[in-house]
Amino acid sequence: MITARAIFLVLISAPLIAGCYYGDLSVHGKKCSNQAGDQHSCPSGYVCVETPTPPNGALDGTCYKESSAPTCPEGKSFCTKNSDVDWVEKCSNDGHSSVMETNCKDFEDPPLTCNPDTALCAQACPEGEKDCPAGHTCDAGTWLCRPFEPCDTECAPDPKEEAIIADPTSLDCFIIVTDPGAQTQCTLTGLVYFFPLKNSKGTEHLRVTLRPNGDPDTELSTTTVFKDSCSTNPEEECGYYEFTNVDTNRTYDLEISQPEQGYSGDPIVTSVRAGITVRSDRCGTGTYSLALNAMTVDTYNSYTSSLIDNYDTRRGLLFGRVLDCGDSDGDNRKAIGNATVGLAAEPVPPGRMFYFPDSLVLAPDPGLTATTVKGYYAAVGVPACRNQVGFSAYDNGELFLGAVHFTMRPGYAVFIDNPHPDHMPYP
């Protein structure tokens, strides 16, 4: 039996429940505007999120609860692409809304498309560098042009602390570049190691190609790694490469690749030692010695796809070491701690720069912002284009340790140590 009190409670409760429920629905999803003078705002507890809509980017606003409002990458631009839209969208100051910054479909000659790496309208470059306008470089991973300007000293961030070096004078050589000698040609030779173990066994039959620095399409000479005894133990056979009659006072890249036949070692990725200048005064005996690194596919994956979630295979890996001046001949160089490294074309997120702790295992530490006394650095997810890496360290004031030009290609491993001044071209 329903009492009068029960009926009264139902009557006074029903409107309140219905009012709250329908009230929420009437606000969430309601059209709104943040434009000055427009009265269509959201009530307290809600935020008006505006986004551009086709075909002209007019803003369309919707009310969201503050706790569930979509976020926009703060202070960033990004691409919005579908069958109707190809434009650059820019985040607004509220952290939720965005506006159309540039419509790439407005450009017809040449046609442009939004490059998600740079959040800029970009020209396609299927034929390579010659397709790109001045001040741009062609990304062989996306086949889109991207702005590029060599950064010299601006590449590397300012170090936060003084360099850790073995000898107080071990950076003096970076102040003066000596005049090279008169030798016009010499032999370029050395061991080929598997990185990072410095094991040269099994590198026989790998292909080594000599190229001009930063030019991955021009072949100057090619040779094959051969076996030779590298110690008094005849069973310890090592792999050597050799180029004869190499012109001096020029800068080269040495590219190690896997041939289609003959090689029986672990599969490697194409590995490049970049920015090597064969100076005549370093060829006094007629020979310039330089060891090279080959990186196996497994090692490459350990520093890329195993380290970075959603790693993009259109990128590449840069690996190197920051070194001091060494002895009077520029040899026996030691690592520098508290040095910084930077790129003109930086790694594409989620790729990033890494440094390595002072430990036996060569594993990167995401929390480090400069080299340790190991001197190692790596850049994961480097765009496949022309680039430049710079090195910087403080020793009683800032000293710039050098810059090297290189070109990355998809899936390549590029090795660069900061160059000794005596290994650089004479200005």
Same domain, 300 and 399: yes
Q: Percentage of the chain surpassing pLDDT 90?
A: 65
CB 355 within 8 A of CB 380: no
- Residues 126 and 139: their CA atoms lie apart, in Å, by 10
Tokens of 7: 């009926």
Structure confidence at residue 351 (pLDDT):
95
Same domain, 392 and 333: yes
Other C-beta atoms closer than 10 Å to the C-beta of 165 total: 21
pTM for this one? 0.87
Confirm whether 222 is domain-assigned: yes
Q: Which range has the worst mean pLDDT, 33-37, 77-81, 314-318, 356-360?
A: 33-37
Same domain, 310 and 416: yes
Quickly state the pLDDT bin for 222 (edges 50, 70, 90). Answer: very high
Structure confidence at residue 296 (pLDDT):
97
- Residues 251 and 213: their CA atoms lie apart, in Å, by 6
Q: What is the pLDDT of residues 308-318, one digit of tens each?
A: 999 999 999 99
Q: Which residue has the higher pLDDT, 194 or 38?
A: 194
Structure confidence at residue 8 (pLDDT):
37
Q: Would you call 259 helix, strand, or coil by DSSP?
A: coil
Confirm whether 177 is domain-assigned: yes
CB 216 within 8 A of CB 275: no
Question: How many domains in the chain?
Answer: 2
Tokens of 50: 């505006």
Give the list of residues 6+ apart from residue 346 with CB closer than 8 angstroms, or none: 353, 379
Quickly state the pLDDT bin for 230 (edges 50, 70, 90). Answer: low
Please provide the average confidence, as pLDDT, over all residues in the chain: 87
Same domain, 246 and 376: yes
Q: What is the pLDDT of residues 86-110, one digit of tens each?
A: 999 999 988 999 999 999 999 999 9
Quickly state the pLDDT bin for 2 (edges 50, 70, 90). Answer: very low
pLDDT surpassing 90 at residue 364 = yes
- In terms of average pLDDT, the best of 72-81, 163-172, 294-303 is 294-303
pLDDT surpassing 90 at residue 236 = no
Q: Give residue 172's domain range.
A: 152-423
pLDDT (mean) for 397-407: 88
Same domain, 97 and 156: no
Q: Which residue has the higher pLDDT, 101 or 332?
A: 101
Q: What is the pLDDT of residues 122-139, one digit of tens each?
A: 999 999 999 999 999 999
Tokens of 95: 């952290």
Largest distance between two CA atoms of the chain: 115
pLDDT (mean) for 331-358: 94
Structure confidence at residue 231 (pLDDT):
59
Same domain, 158 and 73: no
Give the list of residues 6+ apart from residue 269 with CB closer than 8 angstroms, or none: 295, 296, 297, 300, 411, 412, 413
pLDDT surpassing 70 at residue 12 = no
Structure confidence at residue 152 (pLDDT):
77
Same domain, 67 and 179: no
Q: What is the pLDDT of residues 246-300, one digit of tens each?
A: 999 899 999 999 999 989 889 999 999 999 999 888 887 899 999 999 999 999 9
Same domain, 96 and 158: no
Among 72, 107, 142, the domain boundary falls at: 107
Among 75, 91, 107, the domain boundary falls at: 107
Structure confidence at residue 4 (pLDDT):
44
Structure confidence at residue 189 (pLDDT):
94
Q: Percentage of the chain surpassing pLDDT 70?
A: 90
Q: Return the bridge partners of 146, or none.
A: 137
Quickly state the pLDDT bin for 26 (edges 50, 70, 90). Answer: low
pLDDT (mean) for 182-195: 92
Confirm whether 2 is domain-assigned: no
Structure confidence at residue 427 (pLDDT):
52
Same domain, 287 and 402: yes
pLDDT (mean) for 232-244: 78
Confirm whether 41 is domain-assigned: no
Confirm whether 211 is domain-assigned: yes
Same domain, 196 and 281: yes
User: Exposed e or buried b for every residue in 319-358, given b needs 16+ CB within 10 A?
Assistant: bbbbbbbbeeebeebbbbbbbbbbbbbbbbeebbbbbbee
Confirm whether 399 is domain-assigned: yes
Confirm whether 119 is domain-assigned: no
Same domain, 174 and 69: no
Structure confidence at residue 27 (pLDDT):
81
Same domain, 88 and 168: no
H or E stretch at 101: strand 98-103
pLDDT (mean) for 373-396: 94
Confirm whether 307 is domain-assigned: yes
Q: Would you call 277 helix, strand, or coil by DSSP?
A: strand
